Every structure is written in C-alpha cells, then in structure tokens.
C-alpha cells in the first residue's frame, strides 16, 4: 500500500491517475474512511493496490 498527499480535488481524479480507473474511487474512500469523493485542503490518502478487475461497473470497450 502507498500513500500520496494531494491538495484539494476529488477521488475520481485520484483514482483515474493512480489506479487507472476513476470508478475505483470507492476503494480509496473505503480505505480512508471517506464517504464524500470531494475534498478540500491538503489530504494524505492511502491507496489500494492497482487492480484492473476491481472496476466500478463501467464496461470496457
């Protein structure tokens, strides 16, 4: 598991950038005890391991 520090934003962007799939924001939220994907200020987040099979239900073309 890794951690990152980000300044403001949303978990959709973090999941897209770090896990390769914006729909995996729920995995990041669960790991960090968050319910809202939007955040402000400087936040340190724990990231789950990258898993292409853990998508959020979006079909791949």
Closest CA to 9 of 57, 49, 51, 42: 42
Cα separation values, 43 from 2, 7, 10, 56, Å: 14, 6, 11, 23
Average pLDDT over residues 21-35: 95
Q: Which domain holds residue 35?
A: 2-47
Instruction: pLDDT band for 59, please (50, 70, 90 cuts).
Output: very low
**33 found inside a domain:** yes
**22 found inside a domain:** yes
The yes-or-no verdict on residue 24 having pLDDT over 80 is: yes
Number of domains in the chain: 1
**12 found inside a domain:** yes
Which pTM does this prediction carry?
Answer: 0.85
Query: Where do we find the tokens 């099979």?
Result: 53
**56 found inside a domain:** no
Residues 6+ apart with CB under 8 A from 9: 38, 39
């Amino acid at each position: 598991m890794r951690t990152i520090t980000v300044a403001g934003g949303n978990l959709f962007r973090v999941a897209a950038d770090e896990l390769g799939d914006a729909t995996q924001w729920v995995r990041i939220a669960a790991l960090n005890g968050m319910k809202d994907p939007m955040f402000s200020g400087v936040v340190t987040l724990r990231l789950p391991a990258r898993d292409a099979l853990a998508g959020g239900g979006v079909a791949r073309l």
